[in-house]
């Protein structure tokens, strides 16, 4: 293997062969390719990209670099996985996992720690007293097989090539390369071997990708990678120009997920979960239509089956299932501070990344050692885009838990207030689900405007 030849080829826009890509990533995972050469190669990829064929091979080679769940582990049942590219207040997995399991689909999900400023699924689940996400692949398969749902933290040997490469991308400012993002996400999904995969690609100011053209490109790359590897894959492109639902922060988001599993909660979060779930069921069974699946899933929320499944899941992973009946058993805020509007009008925008950064300042995220600083910390939004607001009306409430040592500073209250843009003209809520990407192409959706009601 001549690595300099590969770097030279990518530097001038050439293409790598299947054999070159596999031996490069095999060598890199084993420590036989020096970091400086890999850094040069990924910088050339950042400038010149990878063709679809190269991206597919790159992903397969990464997926094969470590352990994986044996395909067919859950036969004769269908298994499903989902992935979100991440956003502020995104607690979809906490609802969708139990909902799909209640519908008879097996969900065995490996999640990474959060890469963004607020918590990931693992952080949210770890706010549940006693719950453990440290499962071996065998335990994950056995727990999911027994009740339909298990969630574990990514093990060290799951796609080790990606774990090394991600650190290198971070250190070389090459994280924002679409083929590298696609292969990083999809290699982990392929290693988990679910029959079907639903991707939620977020777009907007609070997302990894603010531009719709980039979100579409990433979604279609990932759909092609999944389908070409035999994993039936679709992607939804969904809005992240405001936080999803009304809560940001680990225990707060678990509480909101429980509300949604009760058939209540934010209508936007509920609609997104039902939409994503309806497409997972359509992927699992070609004979079903998403519209009918949507209605069936809605009845699993209103009938309580999805919440019962969440409770069973918590118990199966060592947590206290009583939280589904009594959310005061979750970590609670010690101090709550109101953020009130100084203007009247209509909320015409929410700077989502600012809300995420404020939640981080409240200690909802991780410290330098990787520990969640305060599971009770976060923000509850009382207003969302398109809501009318009176002068001095409540916009948001800031929560600080007992583990943070300082009181909430006034600058943080101002920062959250300034994240709300209040105008004079009434507007509609942003379109939540912008497009659906399947192996047949992109369908732009028009009328998925959901109101801001909270049940």
User: What span, in angstroms and rounded, lies between the C-alpha atoms of 238 and 444?
Assistant: 11
What number of CA atoms fall less than 13 Å from residue 280's CA on the CB side?
Answer: 32
Each as own residue / partner, the long-range contacts of residues 305-308 (CB below 8 Å, 24 or more positions apart, any chain) are 305/102, 306/95, 306/98, 306/99, 306/102, 306/261, 307/98, 307/258, 307/261, 307/262, 308/102
Residue 450 tokens read as 């959901």
| Helix intervals (H) in 80-237 | 92-102, 121-126, 137-147, 160-171, 178-192, 212-228
CB of residue 54 to ligand URA, shortest distance in Å:
16
- The single residue of 82, 83, 117, 361 carrying the catalytic annotation is 83
Place of tokens 């497409």: 279
- The single residue of 109, 188, 309, 434 carrying the catalytic annotation is 188
Each as own residue / partner, the long-range contacts of residues 29-36 (CB below 8 Å, 24 or more positions apart, any chain) are 29/65, 29/66, 29/160, 29/161, 29/164, 33/3, 35/168
CB of residue 99 to ligand URA, shortest distance in Å:
24
162 part of the active site? yes
124 part of the active site? no
Give the residue with the Cβ less far from ligand URA, 116 or 321.
116
User: What span, in angstroms and rounded, lies between the C-alpha atoms of 223 and 200?
Assistant: 11
User: What span, in angstroms and rounded, lies between the C-alpha atoms of 254 and 330?
Assistant: 9
136 part of the active site? no
- Tell me if 171 contacts ligand URA by CB under 6 A: no
188 part of the active site? yes
407 part of the active site? no
Interface with ligand URA (CB under 6 A), residue from 92, 93, 184, 233: 184
Interface with ligand URA (CB under 6 A), residue from 56, 181, 300, 333: 181
Contact 334, 363 (CB under 8 A): no
Query: For the chain, what percentages of helix, strand and coil (3-state, to nearest 5) are there?
Result: 45, 20, 40
- The single residue of 117, 143, 169, 366 carrying the catalytic annotation is 169
CB of residue 356 to ligand URA, shortest distance in Å:
15
Piece of 45-53, 181-189, 405-413, 440-448 that binds ligand URA (CB under 6 A): 181-189
CB of residue 152 to ligand URA, shortest distance in Å:
16
* Spatial CB neighbours of 116, under 8 Å, sequence gap ≥ 6: 86, 87, 88, 208, 356
CB of residue 175 to ligand URA, shortest distance in Å:
6
Total number of residues binding ligand URA (CB under 6 A)?
5
- Tell me if 185 contacts ligand URA by CB under 6 A: yes
Window 108-127: contact mask with ligand URA (x via CB under 6 A): -------x------------
Closest CB to ligand URA: residue number: 184
- Tell me if 107 contacts ligand URA by CB under 6 A: no
Per CB under 6 A, residues contacting ligand URA are 115, 175, 181, 184-185
């Amino acid at each position: 293997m001549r690595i300099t030849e590969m770097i030279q080829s990518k530097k001038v826009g050439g293409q790598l062969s299947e054999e070159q890509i596999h031996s490069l990533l095999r060598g890199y995972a084993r420590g036989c390719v020096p970091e400086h050469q890999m850094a040069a190669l990924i910088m050339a990829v950042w400038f010149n990209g990878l063709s679809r064929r190269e991206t597919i091979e790159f992903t397969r080679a990464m997926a094969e670099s470590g352990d994986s769940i044996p395909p067919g582990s859950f036969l004769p049942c269908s298994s499903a996985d989902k992935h979100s590219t991440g956003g502020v207040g995104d607690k979809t997995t906490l609802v969708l996992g139990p909902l799909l399991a209640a519908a008879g689909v097996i969900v065995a999900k490996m999640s990474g720690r959060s890469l963004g400023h607020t918590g990931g699924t693992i952080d949210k689940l770890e706010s549940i007293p006693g719950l453990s996400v440290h499962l071996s692949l065998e335990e994950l398969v056995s727990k999911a097989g027994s009740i339909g749902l298990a969630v574990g933290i990514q093990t060290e040997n799951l796609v080790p090539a990606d774990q090394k490469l991600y650190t290198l991308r971070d250190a070389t400012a090459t994280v924002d390369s679409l083929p590298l993002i696609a292969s990083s996400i999809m290699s982990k999904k392929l290693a988990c071997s679910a029959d079907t995969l639903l991707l939620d690609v977020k777009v907007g100011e609070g997302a990894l990708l603010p531009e719709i053209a980039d979100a579409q490109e990433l979604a279609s790359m990932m759909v092609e990678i999944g389908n070409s590897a035999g994993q039936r894959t679709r992607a939804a492109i969904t809005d992240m120009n405001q936080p999803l639902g009304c809560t940001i922060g680990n225990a707060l988001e678990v509480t909101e997920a429980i509300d949604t599993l009760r058939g209540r909660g934010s209508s936007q979060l509920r609609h997104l979960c039902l939409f994503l779930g309806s497409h997972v069921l359509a992927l699992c069974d070609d004979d079903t239509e998403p519209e009918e699946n949507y209605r069936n899933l809605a009845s699993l929320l209103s009938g309580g089956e999805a919440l019962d499944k969440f409770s069973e899941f918590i118990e199966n992973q060592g947590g206290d299932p009583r939280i589904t009946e009594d959310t005061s058993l979750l970590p609670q805020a010690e101090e709550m501070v109101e953020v009130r509007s100084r203007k009247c009008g209509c909320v015409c925008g929410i700077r989502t990344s600012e809300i995420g950064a404020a939640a981080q300042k409240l200690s909802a995220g991780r410290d330098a050692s990787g520990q969640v600083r305060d599971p009770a910390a976060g923000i509850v939004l009382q207003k969302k885009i398109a809501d009318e607001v009176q002068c001095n009306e409540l916009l948001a409430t800031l929560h600080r838990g007992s583990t943070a040592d300082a009181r909430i500073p006034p600058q943080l209250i101002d920062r959250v207030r300034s994240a709300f843009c209040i105008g004079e003209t009434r507007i509609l809520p942003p379109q939540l689900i912008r497009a659906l990407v399947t192996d047949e192409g992109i369908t732009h959706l028009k009328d998925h405007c959901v109101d801001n009601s909270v049940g």
